[in-house]
């Protein structure tokens, strides 16, 4: 395996363009969490022309609904959720400058096209390792939609979050490539 | 009649919902290690190692293995010689879930209505299946089932003429379609026969059997082996990034059915297979 690439958010077009599927990335900086219900609200605000709780320009959204923090911790278990449920919402956020998404599982053709057009990247994190990933999260603060509980939007500060590039800004798809290598 | 106070059921459900979410079975841990050893892909190996580290951290810190601490699926085998006292069975189970999910800092993942989608805030209600059985014991099994793998499940009403080949094709197709989404390596529960709803419940019950343990009927044991081999030839691999371990195991459960029918249900379980049982 090649050496991991260290990146810090926010991401630029140049950061994104150099990434290729299969690259291992160690990501640090601010991430915003959102899953199904929060995405629906964000897109609704965009459609109404209203202000978002955070400016997506250059940012990375992590698809996660963490467990509550036990005493003494900033967050509980916090691994990725399955991304396809956000497919209908992601292209509009990408068109507003979102540069990265972190999740697990396949994305739609529309999302992949949108990532090519606007220079964005989709990272895979290891699903089902929420206890391990929790250790990379140094700060967490609910910034919107507290009523959604685990689905509220949180601003996270992460250090050395290990990721892999699944869809790059050039149309590549690691799931297809990986499967083809090992199918018998 | 043996009297059993339902508060014992509440206590058991509370304890097991917390424990299931932070401690994997010995069969699961052993399977992670064995598969990490023989996985052909380096990335796949590294993911299987991450699963082992995650399990160790969860055990040390008490943090849940996965943030999706699931819907609490509770199976109760209620001995017909038991008289339950002190309250209602369903409420006793829900109270156990309520306490376990609160005290264990587990995620509340249940919405009260499938379309209006307001979170109930305490992970209730549980999904409860009760069977009345001979004897004077109460056997409680809890499976905390994540949404990601549940969403990749499916059911098909095959024709009897489709036979075993039709069953194999459908199961493998489901796993292929699911691809990386259900957090592979998965465990594949297959329910064959019965009616529409029986096949689905069987496919979930199939997931409760320990990994590596085959069906008692050699015919179905061989079917499990064959399905596992076919699935692991798909190349999907750990987290779908390519590899030789797409599923850890396939479990088949069967039931008699109508002369016109051949239902087959596939319930997919992620690598973090969390279930516990106890007897009162």
Taking only the tens of pLDDT, chain A with its 184 residues reads 568 999 999 999 999 999 999 999 999 999 999 999 999 999 999 999 999 999 999 999 999 999 999 999 999 999 999 999 999 999 999 999 999 999 999 999 999 999 999 999 999 999 999 999 999 999 999 999 999 999 999 999 999 999 999 999 999 999 999 999 999 9
For the segment(s) A5-182, the CATH number from 3.10.580.10, 3.20.130.10, 3.50.50.60, 3.40.50.720 is 3.20.130.10
User: In angstroms, rounded to a whole number, what is the distance separating the alpha carbons of residues A28 and A172?
Assistant: 24
Residue among B64, B151, B235 whose CB faces A184 most closely: B235
B160 and B266 share a domain? yes
Q: In this predicted structure, what is the pLDDT of residue B237?
A: 98
Note whether B43 contacts A180, CB cutoff 8 Å. no
Q: Looking at chain B, list the stretches that DSSP marks H as alpha helix, in order from N- to C-terminal side.
A: 6-20, 26-38, 42-61, 89-103, 147-150, 163-178, 196-206, 218-232
Of B69, B236, B241, the CB nearest to A174: B241
Tell whether B212 and B242 lie within a shared domain.
yes
The domain boundary residue, chosen from B88, B114, B145: B145
Domain boundary among B112, B145, B178: B145
pLDDT at A1: 54
Q: Are B169 and B73 contained in the same domain?
A: no
Residues of chain B with pLDDT under 50: none
Of the candidates B151, B179, B183, the beta carbon closest to that of A127 is on B183
Contact B170, B159 (CB under 8 A): no
| Residue B36 belongs to a domain | no
Q: Which chain A residues are within 8 Å of B105, Cβ to Cβ?
A: 67-70, 76
What sign does the dihedral B189-B240-B150-B144 (CA atoms) show? positive
pLDDT of residue B229: 98
Interface-testing mutation among B63, B122, B123, with chain A (most A C-beta atoms within 10 A):
B63
Same domain, B257 and B135: no
* Residues in chain B closer than 8 A to A64 (CB atoms): 67
Q: What are phi and psi of A148, to 5 degrees?
A: -85, 0
Domain boundary among B97, B128, B145: B145
Residue B95 shares a structural domain with residue B221: no
Whether this model's ipTM surpasses 0.85 comes out as: yes
- Residues B176 and B138 both lie in one domain: no
* CA dist., res. B280 & res. B86, Å (int): 15
- A159: exposed, middle or buried (Cβ count in 10 Å: 0-12, 13-18, 19+): middle
In the residue annotation, A118 being an active-site residue is answered as no
Average pLDDT of every residue of chain B: 97
Domain co-membership, B92 together with B214: no
- Are residues B214 and B96 part of one domain? no
pLDDT digits (tens, 9 = 90+) for B44-91: 999 999 999 999 999 999 999 999 999 999 999 999 999 999 999 999
Residue of A69, A128, A148 lying closest to B183 (CB–CB): A128
* pLDDT given at position A75: 97
Active-site residue, from A39, A104, A119, A154 = A39
Cβ distance of B54 and A183 shorter than 8 Å:
no
In A, minimum Cα distance to B120 occurs at A149
Looking at residue A3, its pLDDT comes to 82
Which structural domain, as residue segments, surrounds residue B129? 2-20+65-145
Residue A175, pLDDT score:
96
Cβ-Cβ contacts under 8 Å, A181 against chain B:
41, 235, 242
The answer on B159 and B259 residing in a single domain is: yes
List CB contacts (< 8 A) between A132 and chain B. Answer: 50, 53-54, 57
| Residues linked to residue B185 through DSSP beta bridges, in sequence order | none
Exposure of A154 in the CB half-sphere (CA atoms within 13 A): 27
- Judge if B264 and B202 occupy the same domain: yes
Residue B218 covered by a domain: yes
Residues B138 and B159 in one domain: no
Domain count of the fold of chain B: 2
Q: Residues of chain B with pLDDT > 90: what percent?
A: 100
> A83: which DSSP letter?
G
């Amino acid at each position: 395996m090649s050496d991991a690439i260290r990146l810090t958010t926010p991401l630029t077009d140049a950061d994104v363009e150099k990434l290729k599927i299969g690259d291992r990335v160690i990501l640090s900086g601010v991430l915003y969490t959102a899953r199904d219900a929060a995405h629906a609200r964000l897109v609704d605000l965009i459609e109404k022309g209203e202000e978002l709780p955070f400016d997506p320009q250059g940012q990375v959204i992590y698809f996660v609904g963490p467990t509550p923090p036990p005493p003494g911790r900033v967050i509980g278990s916090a691994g990725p959720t399955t991304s396809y449920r956000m497919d209908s919402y992601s292209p509009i956020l990408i068109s507003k400058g979102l540069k990265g998404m972190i999740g697990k599982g396949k994305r739609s053709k529309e999302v992949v096209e949108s990532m090519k057009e606007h220079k964005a990247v989709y990272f895979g994190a290891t699903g089902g390792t929420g206890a391990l990933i929790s250790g990379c999260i140094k700060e967490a603060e609910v910034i919107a939609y507290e009523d959604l509980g685990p689905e509220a939007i949180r601003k996270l500060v992460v250090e050395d979050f290990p990721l892999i590039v699944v869809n790059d800004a050039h149309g590549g798809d690691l799931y297809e490539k990986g499967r083809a290598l090992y199918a018998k | 009649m043996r009297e059993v106070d339902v508060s014992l059921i509440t206590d058991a459900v509370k304890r097991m919902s917390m424990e299931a979410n932070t401690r994997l079975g010995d069969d699961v841990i052993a399977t992670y290690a064995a598969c990490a050893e023989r996985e052909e892909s380096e990335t796949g190996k590294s993911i299987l190692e991450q699963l082992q580290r995650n399990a160790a951290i969860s055990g040390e810190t008490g943090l849940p293995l996965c943030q999706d601490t699931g819907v609490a699926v509770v199976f109760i085998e209620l001995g017909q010689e038991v008289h339950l006292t002190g309250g209602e069975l369903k409420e006793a189970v829900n109270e156990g879930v309520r306490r376990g999910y609160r005290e264990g800092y587990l995620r509340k993942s249940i919405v009260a209505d499938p379309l209006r989608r307001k979170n109930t805030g305490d992970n209730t209600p549980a999904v409860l299946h009760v069977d009345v059985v001979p004897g004077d014991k109460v056997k409680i099994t809890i499976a905390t089932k994540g949404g990601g793998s549940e969403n990749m499940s499916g059911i098909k009403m095959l024709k009897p003429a489709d036979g075993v080949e039709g069953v194999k094709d459908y199961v493998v197709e489901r796993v292929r379609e699911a691809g990386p989404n259900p957090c592979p390596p998965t465990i594949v529960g297959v329910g064959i026969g019965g009616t529409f709803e029986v096949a689905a419940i069987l496919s979930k019950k199939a997931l409760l059997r320990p990994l590596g343990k085959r069906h008692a009927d050699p015919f179905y044991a061989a079917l499990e082996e064959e399905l596992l081999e076919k699935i692991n030839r798909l190349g999907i691999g750990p987290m779908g990034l390519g590899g030789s371990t797409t599923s850890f195991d396939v479990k088949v459960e069967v039931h008699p059915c109508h002369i016109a029918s051949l239902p087959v249900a596939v319930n997919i379980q992620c690598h973090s297979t969390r279930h516990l049982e106890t007897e009162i």
